[in-house]
Amino acid sequence: MSTPPTATVSAPEAPAGEAPLIPVGVLGARGRMGTEVCRAVDAAEDMELVAMVDERDWLFNVADAGAQVVVDFTRPDSVMDNIRFCIDQNIHCVVGTTGFDDERLATIAQWLEPKPDLGVLIAPNFGIGAVLLMRFAQEAARFFPSVEIVELHHPGKVDAPSGTAARTARLVAAARRTAGVPAAPDATRESDSLPGARGADVEGVPVHAVRLAGLVAHQEVLMGAAGETLTLRHDSYDRASFMPGVLLAVREVRTRPGLTVGIESLLGL
């Protein structure tokens, strides 16, 4: 007989006089991020890990286990079904899985309409340094005619470019548009001898993806003007770097109904 891919434990009970523990379920619990999230939730004094799910068929276990918040680190092709399920079950969602575009976000906002008390928080990056890098890049964007992004990740990463790089590029492009900065002078690809040599084009910002053994998650935003460059770089050397952001989101999502994108507002940014 095969072992069920999920483990559930009974809903938590808080000691008398203390605030109830937050019952948390984790989807993708055996993955690189899910494993770390289970460890972090287990160690958090105000949370209880009530369900660990690693396959779609067992999703009902998070509801049966009484999860109030689900954390999803699965795959771009699974995450929409997971969110739909959680919304139907009145479970708040904290989502780190990538692959969100405007269309997907609009769909989730629509699903949430009949559930005014329910929160879904989607963040392409829960690392505080990565969030700050995005903010700094937005600030600097209007001062430099040239901008390019290089993201560097472990070879097991399923998507490219990274969700963080795509979001950074969109934020930088929006800041440039707002400031009236014209397209980068070196944006043309007409003379490229090999397609792809200049990276992917995200709203006019070239994004280059490196996959290399030994790496975890890293990003550089390079900006250039006459005679100078500015390089902003963030490195996640360990997936522990994402955990403070994930736990903050678990604590906050229940009091933030509707769709929240990014953890910036939770950090007061």
Site residues (vs ligand LZUJQKHR, CB under 6 A): 98, 124-125, 153, 157, 162-164, 217
Cβ atoms within 10 Å, residue 192: 10
Contact present, 188 and 204 (Cβ < 8 Å): no
Sign of the four-CA dihedral 247, 19, 14, 259: negative
233-238 contacts: CB < 8 A, separation 24 or more? Answer: 233/133, 234/127, 234/129, 234/130, 234/132, 234/133, 235/129, 236/127, 236/129, 236/130
153 noted as active-site residue: yes
Choose from ligand NDP, ligand LZUJQKHR, none: what does 82 bind? Cβ within 5-8 Å by kind.
ligand NDP
Residue 261 Cβ vs ligand NDP, minimum distance, rounded to whole Å: 11
Residues in binding site:
28-33, 55-56, 96-98, 123-126, 154, 163-164
- Pick between residue 176 and residue 239 the one whose CB is nearest to ligand LZUJQKHR: 239
Q: How far is the CB of 102 from ligand LZUJQKHR (least distance, A)?
A: 17
Number of residues lying near ligand NDP (CB under 6 A):
27
C-alpha dist (Å) from residue 180 to 21, 148, 186, 201: 49, 18, 17, 19
Shortest Cβ 31–ligand LZUJQKHR spacing (Å): 10
Q: In terms of CB distance, is 75 or 170 closer to ligand NDP?
A: 75
The entry of ligand NDP, ligand LZUJQKHR, none near residue 68 (CB within 5 to 8 angstroms by kind) is none
Distance CA(231)–CA(174), nearest Å, equals 19
Annotated catalytic residue: which of 92, 115, 153, 218? 153
Asked whether position 224 contacts ligand NDP by CB under 6 A, the answer is no
Work out how close the CB of 24 gets to ligand LZUJQKHR at its nearest, in angstroms, rounded to a whole number.
Answer: 20
Q: Does residue 115 carry a catalytic annotation?
A: no
Residue with tokens 């993201």: 151
Minimum CB distance to ligand NDP smaller for 54 or for 235: 54
Q: 173 is written with which tokens? A: 């492009």
Contact 70, 38 (CB under 8 A): no
Partner from ligand LZUJQKHR, ligand NDP, none binding residue 64, C-beta < 5-8 Å depending on class = none
Q: Could you say whether residue 74 binds ligand NDP (CB under 6 A)?
A: yes
CA distance 99 to 75: 8
Half-sphere exposure at residue 258, Cβ-oriented, CA atoms within 13 angstroms: 3
Q: Which residues bind ligand NDP (CB under 6 A)?
A: 27-28, 30-34, 53-56, 73-76, 78, 82, 96-98, 123-126, 159, 163, 242
Which residues are part of the catalytic machinery? 153, 157
